[in-house]
Structure 1
Amino acid sequence: MKTMTTVLALALVSSTPAFAKAPANPQIDYQGFSGLVGTLAKVREKHRLAWPEFAKRARAEGALLLDARSPAAFARGHLDGAVNLPFSDFTAEALADVIGPNRKRPIYIYCNNNFRDNRAPVVTKAAPLALNIPTFINLHGYGYGNVWELADVIGMDDPAVGWVGTGAPPRVR
């Protein structure tokens, strides 16, 4: 009986497909992304600006203020002068269309986590998942090295911020 049980167990195991290693996908490179993150850590720290300097530079001629949030969030409100290209739409072609041919063009980025309001359209995300981080990394990965990130936390209702859209608080006269 013991032999019969062993034979049945072996037959069951041998007829069950083994868990195969997931196939490699040459279009996904986690190690490459991890390497880029490590390489850019010090660069990113040097490219974070306080609000007054960020606002001044983002409004300079030739600069691009890029908002990588969803089109719906952008439509409800954004910094005045910002151009929207959702992060999920980043491709070499889409970035070239929005940024133009000059890969050295200064690009200024911000995200929900730069706002203290924590209300639509800038609801705070988990800090390690703030959109500035992958946006900065992806822009560099696509060859745009002149990227600057807003370091401060600001408010939509601060008149100096220049918030536009339906997400803006009512103006007091």
Structure 2
Amino acid sequence: MQSFMPGAATIRDLSRSRSMEARMLLTAFALFMAMPEDPAAKANPQIDYAGFATLTRDVRALRAQRLLSFDAFQAKAAAKDALILDARSADKFAAGHIAGAVNLPLTDFTAEALLAVIGKNAGRPILIYCNNNFSNHRAPVALKSPALALNIQTFINLVGYGYANVWELRDVVDFDDPKVAWVTSR
């Protein structure tokens, strides 16, 4: 039925308008339901990538100041209470390591394991090295991708666990050089 009054809506017009509103509302609801869930909503609370990224950023300047030549590494290792920590696998460690080093594979790092190896003195000098510090490129020190060198991860993890007195071997050396004092356990 047509209304002759200007601005007056018919029942049909109102019905169409409500029908259009209902369709728009249903469409909006369907789009909302189709949206993927927020990945953070179901994130594992025991894994904190953002925290790791922040720690990595914060440790960068410290690490840059803690890179040692081989001679400086040896001198610092000779100091009282210094610890040379080899974070490679137990098999690689047994196949060869710097004399005096102790082994705790990075995959075994926990607060308890680090305490057992390093001791209660969190300020103890800890010296680290990895495969990428050797020019031999054969077992047990196969070259790794430089961006994934074990030293980087080890340094970050040690600082993250509260051990800030970490020093890293910067140089590339030959484990056949007698001054390296390379030993094997096999």
- Shorter-chain TM-score: what band? 0.7 to 0.9
Pick from 74, 78, 98 the counterpart of residue 79 of structure 1: 98
- Secondary structure of the residue aligned to 2:179 is coil
- State the match for 1:143 in structure 2: 162
- State the match for 1:161 in structure 2: 180
The RMSD of aligned alpha carbons is 1.9
Bigger Rg, structure 1 or 2: 2
Whole-Å separation in 2 of the counterparts to 1:123 and 1:113? 8
Report the alpha carbon displacement of residue 59 of structure 1 after superposing the two structures with TM: 2.3
- Deviation digits for residues 77-106 of structure 1 (CA, Å, limit 9, x no counterpart): 000000000000000000000000000000
For structure 2, which runs of at least 5 residues remain unmatched after alignment?
1-29
Identity of aligned residues (%): 56
Q: Does 1:40 align with 2:40?
A: no
- State the match for 1:55 in structure 2: 74
Whole-Å separation in 1 of the counterparts to 2:96 and 2:182? 7
- Deviation digits for residues 10-34 of structure 1 (CA, Å, limit 9, x no counterpart): xxx9xxx975454211111111110
Whole-Å separation in 2 of the counterparts to 1:99 and 1:54? 18
Q: Does 1:125 align with 2:144?
A: yes
- State the match for 2:131 in structure 1: 112
Q: State TM-score, norm by structure 2.
A: 0.78
Whole-Å separation in 1 of the counterparts to 2:143 and 2:64? 21
- Deviation digits for residues 108-155 of structure 1 (CA, Å, limit 9, x no counterpart): 000000000000000010000000001000000000000000000001
Count of aligned residue pairs for this structure pair: 154
Q: Does 1:92 align with 2:92?
A: no
- Secondary structure of the residue aligned to 2:178 is coil
Q: Does 1:30 align with 2:49?
A: yes
- State the match for 1:3 in structure 2: none
For structure 1, which runs of at least 5 residues remain unmatched after alignment?
1-12, 168-173
2:81 partner amino acid: G
- Secondary structure of the residue aligned to 1:137 is helix
- State the match for 2:26 in structure 1: none
Q: State TM-score, norm by structure 1.
A: 0.84
Report the alpha carbon displacement of residue 56 of structure 1 after superposing the two structures with TM: 1.2
1:49 partner amino acid: L
Pick from 60, 78, 85 the counterpart of residue 66 of structure 1: 85
Structure 1's consecutive aligned runs of 4 or more residues displaced over 4 angstroms after TM superposition are 17-22
Whole-Å separation in 1 of the counterparts to 2:185 and 2:157? 29
